[in-house]
Amino acid sequence: MGVIRVSNEVYLELKKLKRKIGVRSMSELILLLIKSSYKELDKFKGDPKIFLKTLKMAGNGGKYDSENVDKILYGEEN
């Protein structure tokens, strides 16, 4: 058994997800997330590092407004 340190924000999100899914423990939740991630990565045809970079950059576009995502990913329009 080990300890994983996460920010308070991540902990609260995991706690909400745990309740929503109905698993008994954080360990069970994390295992489900890992298995799900592997399945999604196996479906993805490309470099997972690029995919993750794109997701991180898309987050800068705004939580509810994605109109700036193209500017962030591809730069300003010329």
Model confidence pLDDT, tens digit, residues 2-30: 899 999 999 999 999 999 999 999 999 99
Report the alpha-carbon distance of residue 42 to residue 61 in Å, rounded.
27
Do residues 38 and 53 both lie within one domain?
A: no
Q: Are residues 39 and 61 in the same domain?
A: no
pLDDT at res. 55:
72
Residue 35 and residue 6 share a domain: yes
pLDDT reading at 60 higher than 70: no
Whether 51 and 77 share a structural domain: yes
Note whether 16 and 1 are within 8 A (CB).
no
* Residue for token pair 């909400």: 16
Whether the pLDDT of residue 61 is over 80: the answer is: no
Work out how many domains the chain is built from and give that number.
Answer: 2
CB atoms within 10 A of CB 17: 14
Same domain, 18 and 36: yes
Cα angle 44, 46, 51; round to 5: 80
Greater confidence, 34 or 77? 34
- What is the span of the domain harbouring residue 63? 45-78
